[in-house]
Amino acid sequence: MSYSATEIWLIIGILAVGTFAIRFSFLGLIGNKPIPPLMERMLRFTPVAVLPGMVAPLVLSGGAIPDPVRLIAALTAVAVAYRKRNVVWGMFAGIAVFYAGLFATGAL
């Protein structure tokens, strides 16, 4: 199915308005009211939950048996981030091990 340029821009515009409406409903309508302590504590963990949710499909995309290079890189990232208590160091370690693994296997 092919769309014309006008239809594509219309779809992008509708999605932009929808995204704005979703964000405004939370931030604009209740943004000036105090958040209950329980909700504030739960919202603090949102970035920690989103990052693994984005990375896990990439690591496990090989099907039943994940790619060893990706799995070792992910485990290294988790171990370094846990040990250093710094997510950025974990990401850099995971990237380094991933590209080293690709180079070692000849995939790079």
Supply the pLDDT for residue 82.
Answer: 93
Sign (positive/negative) of CA torsion 89, 94, 99, 104? positive
Report which residue type is found at 89.
W
- Residue-level pLDDT, tens digit, the chain, 108 residues: 789 999 999 999 999 999 999 888 877 777 777 888 998 888 888 887 888 888 888 888 766 777 899 999 999 999 999 999 998 999 999 999 999 999 999 988
Dist CA 98 CA 75 (whole Å): 11
Q: Which tokens sit at 104?
A: 């070692």
Q: What is the pTM of this model?
A: 0.60
User: What does the domain layout of the chain look like in residue ranges?
Assistant: 1-33, 37-108
Supply the pLDDT for residue 62.
Answer: 67
Helix and strand tally (H, E) in the chain? Answer: 5, 0
